[in-house]
Amino acid sequence: MIVRPMSPFGAEIIGVDLDDPGALDGGVAQALRDAWVEHGILLFRHALHSEDAHLRLSRVFGDPQPSVVKRINEASNPYLMKLEQRPLDSSSETFALFEVDGQRRAGWLGWHWDQAFTAEIVRGALLRMIRPAAQDGRTGFIDAAQAYERLHPDLQRRIEGLEVVYHFTGDQEANRFGFPSSLRVVEHNPKRDAALVRYRGDFPPVVHPLVITQRETGRRILKLSPMHAQRILGMSDADSDALLHELAEHLTDARFAYFHTWQADDAIVWDNWRTIHCATGVPFDVDRFGQRTTIVGDYKLGRYLDAAQAPQGERRRLDD
């Protein structure tokens, strides 16, 4: 197994035959986990050729779990989330057409970590591209540990101990920090708009620290998801907006991003506690299809803003 570092971060794994169920024995699984901790994202090119191999590789990094967003899980296997873009298919609840920097885009998603609107933050995710887009459709990744280390020491001191309030804002254009000001919805989908209002009610506001520590290394991480971020807890609106704008601009600086152009059966596993990601989307007439597993986990640093709103018993799921 070869671990080849990528620029500006991450690593490509070469020389592991993931179709072979025995390939992860003999210390290979542990070596992959170690590489994941060191590099934040791991890329496997043309390496995952089946759902079985996808689930097998996922288990190296933890237990897969169905997404909380039930409607996007495969009916045949809820542990696989569908990432599907069909040209001008407005029947889907997720259908939305955007214009970003003058370009028309379907499937565009701004910078985020997964499920920032929940108190538990999942450990990671493993995306396999099955039918890549003929044009664009890239996924971007940024290392928030590197982003923290690039902050001026004065700013590092200023943000120590601060907390951020998150609330579900599925409508991309409602995100205010680190999102392009040129973003607009070209065509509204009433089904989607109604669903977003419902989801916002399903997930009460949560609070997460602005800085966390990577347990294995002691590295500090700028733990900000531009998507869903509302305000800094206990700060005036003006000060909170100014600080979140500054931090989100810093964090999402594309010069420090790795953008992956997908080919069939490429796979990337990301550390959701340390990295953020985005989707550049595709032109309206381009389709693509991928599947994703979600790796369970809870870093136990998140909480509900109002403890009385915390779901009782089993965690509430969308569409329940």
Of 240 and 294, which CB lies nearer to Fe ion in the complex structure? 294
Helices (H) and strands (E) in the chain, counts: 6, 21
Distance in Å, CB of 258 to Fe ion, minimum:
15
CB of 281 to Fe ion, least distance (A): 13
Q: Residue holding tokens 């039930």? A: 70
Give whichever of 16 and 228 is closer to Fe ion, judged by the CB atom: 228
Among 61-69, 78-86, 111-119, 233-241, the segment contacting Fe ion (CB under 5 A): 111-119
Residue nearer to Fe ion on the CB measure, 132 or 170: 170
Q: Which residue is nearest to Fe ion (CB)?
A: 114
Does 114 sit near Fe ion (CB under 5 A)?
Answer: yes
12 counts as binding Fe ion under rule CB under 5 A: no
Least separation, in Å, of the C-beta of 112 and Fe ion? Answer: 6
Which residue type, as a one-letter code, is found at position 230?
A: Q
Residue 136 touching Fe ion (CB under 5 A): no
Q: Give CA separation, 136 vs 127, 133, 260, 261, 281, in Å.
A: 17, 6, 10, 7, 7
Interface stretch with Fe ion, choices 24-32, 109-117, 171-179, 225-233 (CB under 5 A): 109-117
Binding mask 164-203 for Fe ion (x = CB under 5 A): ----------------------------------------
In the stretch 59-98, what mask flags binding to Fe ion with x, by CB under 5 A? ----------------------------------------
Please list the alpha-helical segments (H only) found in the chain: 28-39, 51-61, 144-150, 153-159, 190-202, 237-251
Cα 172 to its chain centre, rounded Å, is: 14
Q: Is 162 exposed, middle or buried (0-12, 13-18, 19+ CB in 10 A)?
A: middle
Stretch that binds Fe ion, among 34-42, 93-101, 106-114, 164-172 (CB under 5 A): 106-114
The CA R_g of the chain, rounded to the nearest whole Å, is: 19
Size of the site for Fe ion (CB under 5 A): 1
| Alpha-carbon torsion, ordered 167, 210, 79, 201, to 10 deg | -10
What lies within 8 Å, CB to CB, of 167 at 6+ separation is 117, 200, 203, 204, 205, 206, 228, 230
Q: Which is nearer to Fe ion, 175 or 240 (CB)?
A: 175
Length of the chain: 320
Residue 31 Cβ, how far from Fe ion at the closest point, in Å?
Answer: 26
Q: Find the shortest distance in angstroms from Cβ 117 to Fe ion.
A: 12
- C-beta of 58 vs 240, nearer to Fe ion: 58
Q: 36 or 117: whose CB is closer to Fe ion?
A: 117
Closest CA to 141 of 268, 24, 299: 268
Nearest residue (CB) to Fe ion, 12 versus 114? 114
Residue 302: CB minimum distance to Fe ion, A: 17
Cβ contact 265:57 at 8 Å: no
Instruction: Please tell me whether the peptide bond between 5 and the residue prior to it is cis, using omega within 30 degrees of 0.
Output: no
Which range of residues in 44-52, 80-88, 110-118, 168-176 is near Fe ion by CB under 5 A? Answer: 110-118
Q: How far is the CB of 158 from Fe ion (least distance, A)?
A: 29
Q: Which is nearer to Fe ion, 114 or 271 (CB)?
A: 114
82: DSSP letter: E
Please, are residues 134 and 299 in contact by the beta-carbon 8 Å criterion? no
Return the H-helix or E-strand segment holding 65: strand 64-65
Residues forming the site for Fe ion (CB under 5 A): 114
